[in-house]
Amino acid sequence: MNHFDYRDGALHCEDVPLARIAEEVGTPVYVYSTATFRRHAQVFRDGLKALGARVHLAYAIKANPNVAVLRVLADEGYGADVVSGGEMARALAAGIPARDIVFSGVGKTRAELARGVDEGIGQFNLELEEEGAVLAQIAHARGKRARATLRVNPDVDAGTHAKISTGRAENKFGVPIDQAPAMFDRLAPLDGLDLTGVACHIGSQLADLSRLEEAYRRVGRLVEELRGAGHTITRVDLGGGLGVPYKQGDALPSPAEYGAMVARVTEGWDVDLMFEPGRVIAGNAGVLLTEVVWVKPGVTNPYVIVDAAMNDLARPALYDAWHDFAAVRPNGERITANIAGPVCESGDTFAMGREIDRVASGDLAVFRTAGAYGATMASTYNSRDLVPEVLVDGDRYAVVADRIAAETILAAERVPEWLTPAKAAG
């Protein structure tokens, strides 16, 4: 459910007509709905109600790290899962307490680990044994203890796109689950480290709860084994990954179904449970608003050329992802068309042979479900502006990330003095 609906034939975000945002901010532009973020945050929390008070929520901010979005989710009681020093800085800037931050990521540098210890980050998810030893040293040298979990790779195929699968043995993430007990034996006694938990995250846009359930069962057996070996286990981080519907009619497991599965599997674990939802919170809370530039005749179908491109929304080019496309003011007619952006790559195609609202040059349209892994992946490829972001709240909105003009980026480049002045031809 989201708050992008038609009123009097025109698509609105909450009480704001999208046409007004296009008029005042320009296109392309991401538009987010505060009410939708809040609702998703609440629905996800409600889905876990059966688990009681030992549930901790850390929004995976890589899905949508805009600082205003983080403020909304902090307000809903969410901590943050961060995967870089830059994301840690954002979470802190948004007012999320360091103790509610989980530091994930397979390539945390020593400097990032040290910054995390200095800030008092609540949980480090270790990706390899050496990282644990280094973190222990860093914390010990400061007279501190870093609380950590060991991220294990349960070797489960998440059944999602290969580029967003993370829980197969050959993926770069986590340590092989069968090696975890020996690593625990070596890491847990280190001064400076409070290694009292296990973490797993097997992938994103998961549509099949049975894969997650299998991963969680393997983690449960590991917890038993670790306790049997004398380790204290107080925390299990179950990661994120719950999928969202991108196509009308897509059936995805609901947070309630997910919560019921988790309650069943984790019964008797006697641990604090950490969750790291990203896409399920942010996905349907945003659209990418765009204007049709041309409708160009094609061999079989016309090409609808829009002013948004793969540099603004990379998912179709990166993962062959589907985003529903809808006119802001549909005229009731439908056409079959290809949808593409202006970037000089055939990969800059959002859809082929899709039935869509009939649109013409100058019409506004949206790509739906663009709130997660949208703006944050944007680039300026083809010397395009960096796409801006708008947050709507009821009948008001604010630009929460400026459009960064191609000229501004050009101004940050330098021609070294040995290349200037340009030699005159001949």
Could you tell me the smallest distance in angstroms from the CB atom of residue 186 to ligand PLP? 23
Could you tell me the smallest distance in angstroms from the CB atom of residue 199 to ligand PLP? 8
| Cα distance between residue 323 and residue 336, in whole Å | 15
Q: Judged by CB under 6 A, how many residues of this single chain contact ligand PLP?
A: 17
* Region of 60-68, 290-298, 301-309, 390-398 interacting with ligand PLP (CB under 6 A): 60-68
286 belongs to the binding site for ligand PLP (CB under 6 A):
no
90 belongs to the binding site for ligand PLP (CB under 6 A):
no
Please pick, from the candidates 65, 85, 116, 241, the single residue that binds ligand PLP as defined by CB under 6 A: 241
Tokens of 424: 């005159």
Please pick, from the candidates 276, 307, 348, 389, the single residue that binds ligand PLP as defined by CB under 6 A: 276
* Region of 33-41, 49-57, 214-222, 237-245 interacting with ligand PLP (CB under 6 A): 237-245
DSSP 3-state of 199: strand
- Tokens 């709130």, located at residue: 371
| Cα distance between residue 371 and residue 347, in whole Å | 21
CB count in 10 Å sphere of residue 411 = 9
40 belongs to the binding site for ligand PLP (CB under 6 A):
no
| Cα distance between residue 97 and residue 337, in whole Å | 48
149 belongs to the binding site for ligand PLP (CB under 6 A):
no
Active site residue 344: yes
Comparing every residue's Cβ against ligand PLP, the nearest one is: 278
117 belongs to the binding site for ligand PLP (CB under 6 A):
no
Please pick, from the candidates 28, 122, 174, 277, the single residue that binds ligand PLP as defined by CB under 6 A: 277
240 belongs to the binding site for ligand PLP (CB under 6 A):
yes
* Region of 239-247, 312-320, 348-356, 377-385 interacting with ligand PLP (CB under 6 A): 239-247
- Tokens 């449970």, located at residue: 273
Residue 106 near residue 62, CB atoms below 8 Å: no
Could you tell me the smallest distance in angstroms from the CB atom of residue 311 to ligand PLP? 21
204 belongs to the binding site for ligand PLP (CB under 6 A):
yes
| Cα distance between residue 252 and residue 49, in whole Å | 20
273 belongs to the binding site for ligand PLP (CB under 6 A):
no
131 belongs to the binding site for ligand PLP (CB under 6 A):
no
**Which amino acid belongs to residue 260?**
A
215 belongs to the binding site for ligand PLP (CB under 6 A):
no
158 belongs to the binding site for ligand PLP (CB under 6 A):
no
Determine whether 170 is exposed, middle or buried from the number of CB atoms within 10 Å of its CB (0-12, 13-18, 19+): exposed
CB count in 10 Å sphere of residue 346 = 8
Three-class SS of 131-190: HHHHHHHHHHHCCCCEEEEEEEECCCCCCCCHHHECCCCCCCCCEEHHHHHHHHHHHCCC
Please pick, from the candidates 38, 147, 201, 315, the single residue that binds ligand PLP as defined by CB under 6 A: 201
CA gyration radius, the chain: 23
Angle at 71 between CA 67 and CA 73, to 5 degrees: 115
> Nearer Cβ to ligand PLP, position 40 or 279?
279
Angle at 148 between CA 146 and CA 149, to 5 degrees: 175
259 belongs to the binding site for ligand PLP (CB under 6 A):
no
Q: Which of 1, 53, 251, 344 is catalytic?
A: 344
What is the Cα 190 distance to its own chain's centre? 33
Residues with active-site annotation = 344
Binding site for ligand PLP (CB under 6 A): 60, 62-63, 81, 83, 104, 201, 204, 239-242, 276-280
